[in-house]
Amino acid sequence: MEQAPTTSTGLPENAYKELKEGEEYHPIMSPSETYAEVTPWSVGWGLVMAVLFSAAAAYSGLKIGQVFEAAIPIAILAVGISTVARKNQSLGQNVIIQSIGASSGVIVAGAIFTIPALYILGLPASYFQMFMASALGGFLGILFLIPFRKYFVKDMHGKFPFPEATATTEILVAGEKGGKQAAVLAVSGIIGGLFDFTFSAFGAWSEVITTRMFGWGQVLSDRLKLVFKVDTSAMVFGLGYIVGLKYSLIIAAGSFLSWFVLVPLVHEIGQYLTVPVGASVTQLISAMSPEDIFRTYVRQIGIGGIAMAGIIGIIRSSKIIASAFTLAYREIVHHSDDAEAKTVRTQTDLRMLWVVMLILLTALLVFVFFYTGVVFNLTHAIVGLLIVVIISFLFTTVAANAIAIVGTNPVSGMTLMTLILSSLVLWQVGLTGDTGMLVALIMGGVVCTALSVAGGFITDLKIGYWLGSTPKKQETWKFLGVLVSAATVGGVILVLNKAYGFTGDQALVAPQANAMAAVIKPLMSNAPTPWTLYLVGAVIALLLVVLKVPPLAFALGMYIPQELNTPLVFGGLVAWFVSTRSKDEKLNNARFQRGTLIASGFIAGGALLGVFNAFLKFIDQTWEFGYAGWYHEHWADSANGEITGLVMFALLFAYALWDSMRAKAE
């Protein structure tokens, strides 16, 4: 067979293009040959990555509300480790390492968006419940996605961009040439980790810098409730690079609407009121700071926007959802006649009969878990099972579609919708109060994890399709990655709650979990619910659709604290600058890819050192060796500390720009 034209990194030339009639895509690893994929080396390293990145991603998500996708840094590390070990033809094994390891980020997203809400609401939370909710949700996510694999990765070839899968694939292919990327990742990881550790452990400068550091900024904050805030974390900055300028600006625009329009507007209207406004509100609006107004009123508008964005996503994917039953039926009935599935290694999935049986088994385990470990009531357990299975299935294609198009999974918005629906149903069957909140949040955790895993797994399968891996092996060993990640994240949440907590001034932000708690408490306590504020957010999301602005990204910006949104723009600016400065597209691509490695290093290093800092705090609380005294709180909270933070953030920005521009076209 004649060798197909390839890209600069070795992928076939039609890897990212729609295929013409009669044209076929031939991956790097030939479908007619057998390659080393599942080995003790690949499975072992995949599990190591799952543990490490589960810990790192949990810290990242609880701190900034964004769980970084682990696929890219894990792929880089897999390439680097294989290079150091001088393993030849390691491409197939590296895909398995990446696929198992990437379970970490998606499992973490499912857990931290819901489970910390138990602590926030003062409800009992056990390791067993965390583990089971994460593991069973992960299994459902894998199983519900398998029937859609061929549609998303093969039938829609070239029609979906798959941004994260593209970057990861390029790294894995380039790694076969020598793995120099691992060195760039290591250096940037050390820089990013030490940068974040310096201010978080020692208070060398303020983590959040605001316009209040200047006299005029304090006046604006006091009189007009206007304040501009930036988090100096290398981790958040790196995330902005990966997200890109377009979506960073959309997220920031949502934040600016909240902080520069809605917060001052609420103050202007409410400053003359002589009674508090809203359920459980005891403070007058005139006495509120910009942060108080945001938390009390404006954030609820963001929640409404997120929920409506999830509904819009389902409507847009309705045809794909409707076809799922047809696909499953066709696979089961005609599988024995599917000659291609029998003969082509790269198109072999787990048999659909096995998938259906495993779905039924997982559903049974969900029922047993609810009945024996959560509700202890047969009717309530059945209701919980139906809610979890139906919603998980309906939203699976939304998650996969979002990842395929923009690389962002709207799992938080879909989970909010799940909590609202489940709370209304549970109320009807008599589950209210603390018990109702506990049940709804555990159910939400299962659904959230299922959707998160489904969205992440479609990335793994697309990577495997481009490179020529065996889907059946990816699907089989993904279950092990989910189990290990679920076991890890439960322990990490326990440690982080002990070290930082999820309530109070110094607590982890846990924005999605706070949103879940804010939504579910009034629903389950028969207290007034801010439906008007939710409705305003929903209307804004609908208007954004008319304006062709992605509603989920904008709504997340409205909800997440401003200081965690603004650094994304600076990271996105670096990504835009390095990829547009030259007329040579190869040079632009080389610079952008190097910047991707640097940003991934910032994210991974900052998150891992953040987890290390959390463990030190945890140990200090137990044995009191004086670690807390190392943090210079007075300096970090001072205007000079903020100015120092501004200087350090500028240096970080300059370094990322300089190092990215050093790349040379091959």
Contact 166, 479 (CB under 8 A): no
Amino acid, single-letter form, for residue 396? T
Confidence at residue 230, expressed as pLDDT on a 0 to 100 scale: 94
Alpha-helix runs per DSSP H in 28-102: 40-64, 71-84, 91-101
Confidence at residue 358, expressed as pLDDT on a 0 to 100 scale: 93
Confidence at residue 384, expressed as pLDDT on a 0 to 100 scale: 87
Within 8 A by CB and 6+ apart from 640, the residues are: none
- The rounded distance, in Å, linking the Cα atoms of 345 and 36 is 13
Confidence at residue 81, expressed as pLDDT on a 0 to 100 scale: 85
Q: Is the pTM of this model over 0.85?
A: no
What Rg do the C-alpha atoms of the chain give, in angstroms?
A: 24
Confidence at residue 341, expressed as pLDDT on a 0 to 100 scale: 47
Within 8 A by CB and 6+ apart from 555, the residues are: 254, 302, 305, 306, 308, 309, 413, 537, 540, 541
For 18, which DSSP code? P
Lookup: tokens for 251: 């997220």
Estimate the crossing angle of helix 585-623 against helix 163-175, to 10 degrees: 100
Alpha-helix runs per DSSP H in 468-559: 471-499, 511-525, 531-546, 551-559
Class of residue 433 by CB neighbours under 10 A (exposed 0-12, middle 13-18, buried 19+): exposed
Per-residue pLDDT reduced to its tens digit, 557-608: 888 889 888 998 999 999 999 989 888 888 888 888 788 878 878 877 887 7
Quick one: which H or E segment has residue 367? helix 352-373
Contact 529, 454 (CB under 8 A): no
Helix (H, G, I), strand (E, B) or coil at 273: coil
Amino acid, single-letter form, for residue 591? R
Low-confidence ranges of the chain (pLDDT < 70): 1-11, 13, 16, 60-61, 63-69, 160-161, 163, 167, 174-182, 279-280, 317, 320-321, 323-325, 327-343, 402, 404-414, 503-509, 511, 526-527, 618, 621-622, 628, 666
